[in-house]
A = this chain, B = another copy of it.
Amino acid sequence: MRNSKNVSKYLIGKGTFSQLATLLADRQEGYHVYLIDIFFESKNLNLPKRNEDVLFFVDTAHEPTTSYINELRDQIFAKKTNLPTAIIGVGGGVTLDTAKAVSNLLTNGGQAEEYQGWDLVKKAGIYKIGIPTISGTGAEASRTCVMTNYKTGLKLGMNSEFTIYDQLILDHELTQTVPRNQYFYTGMDTYIHSFESLAGRHRHALSDAFSIQSIELSRQIFDSADMMTEENREKMMVASYLGGASLANSFVGVVHPFSAGLSVVLGTHHCIANCITMRAMEEFYPKEYKEFWKMAEKQKVTIPEGICRNLNAEQYQKLYDSTVIHQVPLKNALGENFKEILTLEKVTEVFKKM
């Protein structure tokens, strides 16, 4: 039985971002590393950054790679000879995961790819603060940080209790400027991984409670007239946190493996890939399929269609391979013999439905 770790502390509510300076007050010695979503490059975030601090804008056009994490470490050590006293990640899932990975790598040494897996991180990372500016991935609360190693093809995070944030700031003022489609795609990540978890064979009483509440909040948000009201953005912060907290002790199902296939083969980003996958999920999750499309329609969101209809045999084989490789969630959803259900023919048919 796994010992579950919670995020240590959190500030929640409108305007809490302004408390960042206070949180750093007793870490004034040494320097801080800011990892900021490139979305904010031209905006004034009013960061409490001092001259000695180091700031990187995180390019979110691509999901984090192990070589990118190593490179950030190298860039920090090109400027500094000692370790920072805090790392602050401000952004979406990519940025939050990047901050977690850099924090672990700085104290543990070696290369990022050495920590891809379960409980390979041996030491606590640098004290880290996570500040989401878009909600849904649950990266702020989860015990992993997804990274792709292009040398080995492995897409796997540093799954460790040390990966969990020491401090969160959940300020829904920061999500005001998110584009509407992106808000929906990302928000739906928590709805999707929560229903996958609840439909799976693996049970965990507390994760179940978190997932149920995350879905309930998602319904309130996306079944309302406007998913982006202030009240809904605050609820979305909570839904995302609960979904992430749930994930630490539960497993996803059919959606995420297919979605990962899209990401690996076609380079589709995680959250939009989930939504595209939902086009083909009626037979696996009939109730949620109906609900998802009702919500997408209500929020007038555009979800790409037909991106897998005219691929060649080699591409379908690659999609198949990069889907069925996710044995843990597929066993959770479909049982030990999931490959009898998910044949190459079946998987191809599912991708064509998207």
**Residues of A with Cβ closer than 8 Å to B?**
1-13, 15-16, 19, 23, 161, 167, 170, 204-206, 208-210, 212-213, 216-217, 234-235, 237-239, 241-242, 249
Measured CB to CB, the nearest residue on chain B to A12 is B206
- A213-B212, A235-B205, A242-B209 as given contacts; A3 in contact with B13, CB under 8 Å: no
Measured CB to CB, the nearest residue on chain B to A2 is B11
The CA-CA distance from A59 to B6 in the complex, in Å, is 32
The CA-CA distance from A10 to B2 in the complex, in Å, is 9
Q: How far is the CB of A127 from chain B (nearest CB, A)?
A: 14
Q: Are A8 and B5 closer than 8 Å at their CB atoms?
A: yes
Measured CB to CB, the nearest residue on chain B to A214 is B209
Q: Are A9 and B6 closer than 8 Å at their CB atoms?
A: yes
The CA-CA distance from A241 to B210 in the complex, in Å, is 12
Q: Are B6 and A8 closer than 8 Å at their CB atoms?
A: yes
Q: Are A4 and B13 closer than 8 Å at their CB atoms?
A: no
The CA-CA distance from A249 to B13 in the complex, in Å, is 12
Nearest 7 CB-CB pairings of A with B: A6-B6, A213-B213, A205-B238, A205-B234, A209-B238, A5-B9, A209-B213
Measured CB to CB, the nearest residue on chain B to A7 is B6
The residues of B that contact A213 with a CB separation of less than 8 Å are: 209-210, 212-213
Measured CB to CB, the nearest residue on chain B to A6 is B6
- A206-B241, A212-B213 as given contacts; A10 in contact with B4, CB under 8 Å: yes
Q: Are B6 and A12 closer than 8 Å at their CB atoms?
A: no
Q: Are A204 and B6 closer than 8 Å at their CB atoms?
A: no
Q: How far is the CB of A240 from chain B (nearest CB, A)?
A: 11
Measured CB to CB, the nearest residue on chain B to A237 is B205
The residues of B that contact A8 with a CB separation of less than 8 Å are: 5-6, 8
Q: From the candidates B9, B206, B216, B217, name the one contacting A4 in the complex (CB within 8 A).
A: B9
Q: How far is the CB of A183 from chain B (nearest CB, A)?
A: 17
Q: Are B6 and A205 closer than 8 Å at their CB atoms?
A: no
The CA-CA distance from A239 to B210 in the complex, in Å, is 11
Q: Are B216 and A212 closer than 8 Å at their CB atoms?
A: yes
The residues of B that contact A210 with a CB separation of less than 8 Å are: 213
Q: Are B1 and A16 closer than 8 Å at their CB atoms?
A: yes
- A209-B217, A212-B216, A213-B213 as given contacts; A3 in contact with B7, CB under 8 Å: no
The residues of B that contact A9 with a CB separation of less than 8 Å are: 3-6, 161
Q: Are B12 and A238 closer than 8 Å at their CB atoms?
A: no
Given contacts A1-B13, A209-B242, 4 further A-B contacts (CB under 8 A): A1-B11, A3-B11, A3-B19, A4-B12
